[in-house]
């Protein structure tokens, strides 16, 4: 017992220790550790011969850099004679945690070894790090070649004022980054309000070996290239070997945590640079900024709590276990309830005990002799499943255990009667509160975000983590139950199996979905896949934000469904208008816009463009995951001039990370001496 307690407190301390290094948004992302994102590499300087002294030194240098990557920057020199000496350095982006930095440098050096195996000089850019080497001493000097630019191909409206704001903001970001003394991390980010609902995020960084002056002049160079590459675009970046800048309309870097950090600072770390807000916004902008701080503190606490509880939940004996361990103990016998037990528990299926009626039959509340409360689903007689198959499927589905799934406790089989027994979840289903004018204010933004994230995790588990790939096929607000802490629990999963609908083929003659949530390919052709669940999740997400039902949506200006409405607002740059007005007191602007963005990605017409649940979980957990630009959702009703556009052209925007392009119209590889 003593050991148990001390382990728990040790874990708690460890958790706080880890969290103190991280942006609070990344607790989930960290568990899943994102891969570094490769951007571009360039080899130059002519070929060396294999196994030459230079080659050997290069090998030593790269492995020393890679093993040194617990810091954010390191330079090194290997070789005694000037003819075979190799100089190298790496730099990680200022907000990247050290594990990811290490991973990035590791991957980058490996890639350099294979891609630039014989080159005398090379530079490689990742989202998270830059690594370079040369036969020439380049420390403390500004290198502006080679250079690359990447742009977000989405156009900005109101170009002129945007570019003015961009240059003003990015110049101050550059000033701040450059002003750190030599040897100290030269990194700064800034946020500026474009209007009440949109912000501009800028980042500038130099290698720390530069002097403030050199850094600023390097940054002036990259900034000077921005109009060249990225005029009128929603995002762009220019990368030189010695410095780089980037801007986007969404936060693409980890923002400084507002909570004081008790962790010791790594030697090169300057005082945390906070993302400052500046620039003129509307009236509401002031309120939003004022609200942001307490909300982020609350969010921090919430997320610490969720992380902590989730870790504990996994360990706590007798609590919901996840996956494998359960297999051994789940047998038909352990799951079978006697009919008399169920009758007694539900007071003979009395009308007073009836909780509701779903697609598969009536649901009753019951209490077992032990006092445990249960929900009893009496399947309608149309089930095609034979008794044995039914039992087998119940055993399979009962093994699916996750804290965001309603737990299937067992079944009862008596003649024609087929009954499923579930844990009882006290706070009814989400639609009961969400779509009720009186009650919807109980769901503040914090709770809604928790429901969104939990639901996403539950579906992810069904799709990927359980050994069976379960497609829910009927995700909707009435299938999301809320427990006493308003945690979401998905119900009715696996029903297609239990009810006897063929799950093995991605095509079925029996459609179990609900109008308004069904992906078009499912509704029209009966084709289901994990991506049709993603579609339903997207609808649900937009409903949670708007507090409006997709299926009974009427807007005075003739927009016929929630998705079209969300899309039109998004296109007009006013996504916040989608928000349920009762959220005004509690919302987090960036998170809401980002959630709407994710929702729109989920409801894309082409299933290929919809993200997977795993990606969605990451996108929700971390602001650093780049979101592609959404296209028009399925079922979009054309309006006005749009209708005359050929399908697919008007909104055909490519992904956020676009092809690297070189300035000067010369591709980098062609700049290599031949």
Ligand X SMILES: *[C@@H]1O[C@H](CO)[C@@H](O)[C@H](O)[C@H]1NC(C)=O
Q: For binding to ligand X (CB under 6 A), which residues are involved?
A: 35, 45-47, 64, 67-68, 74-77, 107, 110-111, 118, 120, 135-136, 139-140, 153-155, 167-168, 171, 209, 220, 223-224, 653, 674
Q: Which is nearer to ligand X, 48 or 429 (CB)?
A: 48
* Residue closest to ligand X (Cβ): 110
Quote the tokens at residue 329: 């103990």
Output the smallest distance, CB 119 to ligand X, in A: 7
Q: How many Å apart are CA 585 and CA 381, to the nearest integer?
A: 48
3-class state of residue 107 by DSSP: helix
Contact between 87 and 135 (Cβ < 8 Å) = yes
Please state the closest distance from residue 164 (CB atom) to ligand X, in A.
Answer: 7
Minimum Å distance from CB 39 to ligand X? 12
Q: Is 349 within 8 Å of 465 (Cβ atoms)?
A: no
The single residue of 474, 533, 561, 588 carrying the catalytic annotation is 474
Q: With contact defined as beta carbons under 8 Å apart, do 537 and 610 qualify? A: no
**In angstroms, rounded to a whole number, what is the distance separating the alpha carbons of residues 283 and 291?**
13
Closest approach, Cβ 38 to ligand X, in A, equals: 7
Q: Tell me whether residue 156 or residue 303 sits nearer to ligand X (CB atom).
A: 156
Residue 377 marked in a binding site: yes
> Cα dihedral sign for 295, 297, 302, 304?
positive
**Which residue, chain included where needed, has tokens 């991390």?**
185
The smaller minimum CB distance to ligand X, of residues 210 and 397, is found at 210
The distance of closest approach from Cβ of residue 665 to ligand X in the complex, given in angstroms and rounded to an integer, is 18
Between 110 and 467, CB nearer to ligand X: 110
We find the least distance from the C-beta atom of residue 608 to ligand X, in angstroms, to be 19
CA distances from 592 to 64, 138, 255, 626 (A): 44, 45, 17, 16
**Chain centroid to CA 615:** 6
User: Dihedral of the CA atoms 363, 368, 371, 373 (nearest 10)?
Assistant: -20
Give the β-pairing of 243-248 and 86-92: unpaired
Question: Mapping DSSP to helix (H, G, I), strand (E, B) and coil, where does residue 489 land?
Answer: strand
Residue placing its CB nearer to ligand X in the complex, 238 or 477? 238
CB 123 within 8 A of CB 43: no
What phi-psi label fits residue 141: left (phi over 0), alpha (psi between -120 and 50 degrees) or beta? beta
Nearest approach in angstroms of CB 464 to ligand X is 18
Please, which residue, 473 or 632, has the CB nearer to ligand X?
Answer: 632
Residue whose CB is less far from ligand X, 238 or 409 = 238
Q: What is the dihedral of CA 302, 303, 308, 310, to 10 degrees?
A: 100
Query: What would the two tokens of residue 308 be?
Result: 């902590």
SS3 content of the chain, % helix, strand, coil (to 5): 40, 20, 40
**Shortest Cβ distance from residue 218 to ligand X (Å)?**
11
**Please, which residue, 127 or 474, has the CB nearer to ligand X?**
127
- 578 DSSP 8-state letter: G
DSSP letter at 336 equals B
Could you tell me if 376 and 342 are in contact, meaning their C-beta atoms sit under 8 angstroms apart?
A: yes
Residue 472 to residues 147, 468, 476, Cα–Cα distance (Å) = 48, 12, 10
Q: Is 474 a catalytic residue?
A: yes
Task: Give the largest CA-CA distance in the chain.
Answer: 92
C-beta separation of 103 from 93 below 8 A: no
Which of 154/398 has CB closer to ligand X?
154
Per-residue burial over 351-369, b if 16 or more Cβ lie within 10 Å, else e, is eebebeebebbbbbbbeee
Output the CA angle 32-13-271, nearest 5 degrees: 80
What's the CA gap between 56 and 297, in Å, rounded?
A: 51
DSSP element (H, E) containing 120: strand 119-126
**Shortest separation between residue 559's beta carbon and ligand X, angstroms:** 22
H helical segments located in 438-502: 445-460, 495-499
Give the residue ranges of the annotated binding site for ATP: 377
Residues with catalytic annotation? 474
Give the residue ranges of the annotated binding site: 377
């Amino acid at each position: 017992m003593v050991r148990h307690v001390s382990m728990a407190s040790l874990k708690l301390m460890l958790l706080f220790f880890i969290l103190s290094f991280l942006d609070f948004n990344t607790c989930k992302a960290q568990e899943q550790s994102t891969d570094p994102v490769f951007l571009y590499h360039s080899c130059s300087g002519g070929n060396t011969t294999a196994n030459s002294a230079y080659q050997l030194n290069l090998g030593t240098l790269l492995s020393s850099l890679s093993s040194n990557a617990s810091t954010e920057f390191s330079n090194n020199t290997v070789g005694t004679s000037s003819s075979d000496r190799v100089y190298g350095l790496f730099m990680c982006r200022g907000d990247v945690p050290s594990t990811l930095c290490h991973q990035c440098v590791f991957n980058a050096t490996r890639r350099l070894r294979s891609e630039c195996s014989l080159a005398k000089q090379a530079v490689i850019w990742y989202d998270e790090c830059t690594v370079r080497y040369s036969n020439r001493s380049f420390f403390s000097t500004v290198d502006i070649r080679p250079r690359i630019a990447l742009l977000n191909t989405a156009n900005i409206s109101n170009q002129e004022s945007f570019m003015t704001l961009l240059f003003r903001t990015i110049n101050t970001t550059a000033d701040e980054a450059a002003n750190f003394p030599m040897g100290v991390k030269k990194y700064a980010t800034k946020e500026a309000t474009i209007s009440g609902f949109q912000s501009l995020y800028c980042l500038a960084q130099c290698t720390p070996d530069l002097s403030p002056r050199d850094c600023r002049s390097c940054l002036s160079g990259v900034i000077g290239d921005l109009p060249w590459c990225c005029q009128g675009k929603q995002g762009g970046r220019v990368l030189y070997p010695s410095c780089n800048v980037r801007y986007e309309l969404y936060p693409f870097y980890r923002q400084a945590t507002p909570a004081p950090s008790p962790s010791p600072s790594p030697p090169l770390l300057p005082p945390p640079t906070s993302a400052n807000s500046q620039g003129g916004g509307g009236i509401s902008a002031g309120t939003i900024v004022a609200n942001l701080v307490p909300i982020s503190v609350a969010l921090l606490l919430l997320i610490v709590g969720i992380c902590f509880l989730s870790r504990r939940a996994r360990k706590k004996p007798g609590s919901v276990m996840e996956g494998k361990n359960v297999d051994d103990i789940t047998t038909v016998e352990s799951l079978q309830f006697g009919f008399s037990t169920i009758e007694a528990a539900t007071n003979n299926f009395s009308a007073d005990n009836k909780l509701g009626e779903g697609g598969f039959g009536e649901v009753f509340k019951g209490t077992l002799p032990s006092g445990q409360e249960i929900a009893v689903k009496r399947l309608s007689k149309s089930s095609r499943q034979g008794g044995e198959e039914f039992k087998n499927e119940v055993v399979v589905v009962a093994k699916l255990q996750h804290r965001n799934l309603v737990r299937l406790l067992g079944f009862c089989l008596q003649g024609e009667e087929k009954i499923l027994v579930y844990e009882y979840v006290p706070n009814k289903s989400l639609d009961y509160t969400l779509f009720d004018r009186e009650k919807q204010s109980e769901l503040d933004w914090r709770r809604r975000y928790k429901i969104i994230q939990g639901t996403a995790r539950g579906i992810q588990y069904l799709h990927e983590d359980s050994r069976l790939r379960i497609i829910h096929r009927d995700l909707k607000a009435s299938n999301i139950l809320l427990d006493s802490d308003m945690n979401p629990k998905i119900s009715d999963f696996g029903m297609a199996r239990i009810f006897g609908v063929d799950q093995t083929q991605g095509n079925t003659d029996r459609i179990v979905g609900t109008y308004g949530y069904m992906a078009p390919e499912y509704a029209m052709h009966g084709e289901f896949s994990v991506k049709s669940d993603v579609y339903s999740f997207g609808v649900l997400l937009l409903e949670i934000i708007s507090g409006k039902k997709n299926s009974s949506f009427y807007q005075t200006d003739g927009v016929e469904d929630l998705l079209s409405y969300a899309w039109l607002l998004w296109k007009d740059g006013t996504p916040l208008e989608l928000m349920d007005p009762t959220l005004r007191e509690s919302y987090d602007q960036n998170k809401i816009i980002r959630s709407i963005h994710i929702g729109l990605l989920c409801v894309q017409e082409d299933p290929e463009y919809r993200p997977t649940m795993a990606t969605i979980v990451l996108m929700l957990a971390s602001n650093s995951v780049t979101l592609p630009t959404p296209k028009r959702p399925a079922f979009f009703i054309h309006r006005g001039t749009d209708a005359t556009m050929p399908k697919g052209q008007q909104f055909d925007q490519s992904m956020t990370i676009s092809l690297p392009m070189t300035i000067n119209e010369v591709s980098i590889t062609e700049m290599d001496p031949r």
